[in-house]
Structure 1
């Protein structure tokens, strides 16, 4: 059970009649000369604190499936995406495209999502024809003198009933890390000093597209797409100074760790509004993510000496989701709204791990010239098929009080194949009550009671590597 009180500074924003929504018109932000929606949100007092609290309360995109909650709406609607969700669009929408921003603290069946705290609704300007082109170009200078470029290009607009947002960006993930590790004995005598330099030469490329079409006054179709790619190769140099001999000795260790990663996502949603204002919604998401990395470690005595391999770790991991969610929402009585729906999701993780060590045995070039070491559960596929039925009831008790009740029935099966074969079935009933009292436009009292069931981590089903510990190869 949680008791939450939130406060908001009311400068120029206006509150609606029931004190549950604060509205910030675009004119409020003009004095700050914002470039993007993110710049506008930075000027709303306490909003980042609220969004961070919401994220810790309702989970994040690491959760499998979609669920009923979201923090950011655009034109009152949720984007059909996880990696390509609305919060990731805030830097891509130009501030000149915004009509006003709503901070919604109440719960209602008219919302496109279940409000589990406070949500932000970005309302864009309406026009028969409009477009806005936004560009950002910059350079980043790092402590080692390296300079990396970055750029972002986004195009937003509307033509009749068709609106769109297309963007692409390139940003550096370059990182250099220098550390010194000192090891001493209980009598305070020196054991070893390790100087480390780790360099990651990474560049991230992203492309996003969001399109919506109101092909009738009661029908809307939206499609979203995302593609991202990065190749984060890493080099490591360690210098060991050993004080256990008659005089200190120095040796070196290096790593060359090539890596590649990419992900894509396609999502869409369709909504039909009936004559009685009831709504039918259908949403789908398909995504895939691939990460591949190889860790190769070498010993050598002095710079320029031949390098002797002593570790080979190759990791491949793929993660994909297929999600379908549909629901029907209507007013069952005055001040009472009900949403009924189902969600189906299939999540698959493929992983493979290869280890080579300088031990007796037949050496293989596929293992960096080292001896292959058999590992338990090194190659595995984990698949979850989950079905979820839900009902959400909203009761507007009076202009200042609301009560939202919901129940979710979740049925899932997790199957593991490969080096290990196993299957488990799960069934959970998750009820929730959420009471809100708007004391005034600045303060709200919220009381919630729910049963929360954490999802199992797929990472626990397969062997993993720890690239930050040179003494521990696998977990």
Structure 2
């Protein structure tokens, strides 16, 4: 039986196990499902688990992955995610006290590890639609409701140490101060976490005729430890006015060294070359966001928010040829790439109920977003016979977009069990480019969406959505930039003629929740029609074969996603939460070089995951694991002169946690214990493109970072 079929059978067996399992969670303080299909978990429900933060509380909720995944289905043509420009109507599906945090980096999901569990009153999983929600488009919305008290305050802290497979020890820590005083809520936090990486890789290459070519050992060490300082402030003025101010600052420096030992096996004895890359990457980021909301006496709401942010980054790469039998070295490459990214957003909206109707509401508003990218790249090479570096290319560019988004959202509670939310967005934008290329273009898009939900029973919900989406362009694709994936490629060409990737997205969703919310089974079927798919196109010059990101035509993506989770009956004074997921998908687009139908680049055929957690409340102890698997042999990337086939091993995380001395929480984690490898087979072509040339070299490489062991100590004051 093929492995692919076995995986589907395993998933079906898991779902059957969930469905046939009798029993439930502890009855006391059980979650409640309202008539509008909102599931409420009181703070008392989580007390048995002694959670440290909101994130720990969410980990105990069956089906929470469905809410955390947000809406829109992701994939090509999707306008959401952290890299979206502007704010939009979707975005983060986490609310704090029913309100969206005005921020791009500093948004609701980033607060989950910062808010102490002791500050939470209850948690809602909102499965329906409503005109009162600050976000739209998600399958489900998580609402964290904090305690109401005249005065409350707490400090949560964590210290940790990570051990890496080269025996390096890297400390980290975070602290958060949160509370409330006379209508003023605050959360101030600071953290510095290690992002160290020691990667070991090997590559074997053969020539097109099958004869040996090279063997390469690559060892790289990246020393990153970003620091993040943030604050979220809220003022409640009477019953009608609410102000928020959100600040965030990040500083990151990531020096890296990569050494390559190259053995040229075309000769006997083989020739040895040694190369050293020295990289220095620095990045600074700040963001200020705020909003004001006024509730009128008739229940109408007016809300205005703003966001201003800026990111400055620079990457400097120096490559040296090392002496094999000495300490000398010769620099043969210098690559300096810097950019400044700025964003300014202003959004306002007005929400009101239809006169004489208690079941319909309308929100209208407009958003203006200005996005600016300033970038420059300088490449110097050591030419044959030279003794000093020679300037080869210099790129200087500025890309700016002014975008307006007018929107109207109609929410209709058809009856006690049906809702219909209709959205219409009109987007206008102007993208201008100056520097090496001077160009200006205007775009207009009409983006409708229909979201229908039917609560067949309080436990069984059907959802259907149809949406026109427009993905935001990546400004880095307009200008020449660096390549981190190919050591033999110094830079990547830009393309000033890019158009936005568009999609029509059709989704059907069926969700079943077990009694007392002990588990969730969810099925999602999706079909996406894409227009102007972005991938590599030919931008060659008379003297050089080049590619850049461009529009290659229309395509389609379709599949099914299954999610299941179940909290088993109390076993030996413990509770078990088992989760699983399976996604099977396919896609098709015509390759611009080969003229054949193929999958989207690196999209693959799907993935599977399993999670297990066992809690012993009486002993204040829990442990578990998570396993993630990507189906093999499907993630292929096509370029003008190379084809790359990517595969990776299964990623596993183990954890154990207990409450001990000083009422502190001690957590032990192991990441990647089985040294999950990241592999790639790259076929290079000469004498033309992948359609007209010939295979000159085939590179087979794998690398891994080894296991990481982390010890964390957490406490609350």
Could you tell me the TM-score, scaled by structure 1's length? 0.94
Conserved 8 A contact 1:71-1:120? yes
Does residue 435 in structure 1 map to residue 457 in structure 2?
no
Does residue 344 in structure 1 map to residue 384 in structure 2?
no
1:391 to 408, 425, 438: 408
Deviation at 1:458, TM superposition (A): 1.1
Match of 1:329?
351
Higher mean C-alpha deviation, range 350-359 or range 109-118: 109-118
1:108-147 CA-to-partner distances (Å, cap 9, x unmatched) read 1111222431110000011000001001001111110110
2:340 to 318, 325, 329: 318
Q: Following superposition, which runs of at least 4 residues in structure 1 exceed 3 angstroms of deviation?
A: 7-11, 55-58, 185-189, 360-363
Deviation at 1:449, TM superposition (A): 1.3
Match of 1:305?
327
From the superposition, tell whether residues 53 and 114 of structure 1 become closer, same or farther in structure 2 (CA, over 3 Å): closer
Conserved 8 A contact 1:200-1:232? yes
Quick one: distance in 1 between partners of 2:417 and 2:137? 16
Conserved 8 A contact 1:360-1:371? no
Does residue 120 in structure 1 map to residue 142 in structure 2?
yes
Unaligned runs of at least 5 residues, structure 1: 1-6, 364-368
Higher mean C-alpha deviation, range 55-64 or range 92-101: 55-64
2:129 to 104, 107, 111: 107
Within-5 A mapping of 1:233-252 = 233-252=255-274
RMSD: 1.9
Within-5 A mapping of 1:27-176 = 27-52=44-69, 54=71, 56-57=73-74, 59-69=80-90, 70-176=92-198
From the superposition, tell whether residues 303 and 274 of structure 1 become closer, same or farther in structure 2 (CA, over 3 Å): farther
From the superposition, tell whether residues 304 and 230 of structure 1 become closer, same or farther in structure 2 (CA, over 3 Å): farther
Higher mean C-alpha deviation, range 284-293 or range 298-307: 298-307
Does residue 286 in structure 1 map to residue 308 in structure 2?
yes
Match of 1:413?
430
Quick one: distance in 2 between partners of 1:193 and 1:397? 67
Conserved 8 A contact 1:155-1:165? yes
Quick one: distance in 1 between partners of 2:289 and 2:281? 28
Conserved 8 A contact 1:250-1:301? no
Conserved 8 A contact 1:172-1:203? yes
Deviation at 1:360, TM superposition (A): 6.9
Quick one: distance in 2 between partners of 1:44 and 1:255? 46
Deviation at 1:188, TM superposition (A): 5.4
1:300-330 CA-to-partner distances (Å, cap 9, x unmatched) read 2326431111111111011111000001101
Deviation at 1:441, TM superposition (A): 3.0
Deviation at 1:434, TM superposition (A): 0.8
- What SS does structure 2 have at the residue aligned with 1:27? helix
1:20-60 CA-to-partner distances (Å, cap 9, x unmatched) read 20001111112222101111111111212442253644621
Quick one: distance in 1 between partners of 2:177 and 2:399? 39
Does residue 17 in structure 1 map to residue 17 in structure 2?
no
Unaligned runs of at least 5 residues, structure 2: 1-14, 493-717
Quick one: distance in 2 between partners of 1:185 and 1:467? 24
1:405-441 CA-to-partner distances (Å, cap 9, x unmatched) read 1111111100001110000000111111111001223
Higher mean C-alpha deviation, range 439-448 or range 218-227: 439-448
Quick one: distance in 1 between partners of 2:484 and 2:436? 23
From the superposition, tell whether residues 15 and 194 of structure 1 become closer, same or farther in structure 2 (CA, over 3 Å): same
Conserved 8 A contact 1:72-1:119? yes
How many residue pairs match? The answer is 461
- What SS does structure 2 have at the residue aligned with 1:180? strand
Quick one: distance in 1 between partners of 2:325 and 2:303? 64
Deviation at 1:171, TM superposition (A): 0.6
2:227 to 186, 192, 205: 205
Match of 1:366?
none
Deviation at 1:187, TM superposition (A): 6.6
Higher mean C-alpha deviation, range 424-433 or range 352-361: 352-361
Higher mean C-alpha deviation, range 335-344 or range 39-48: 39-48
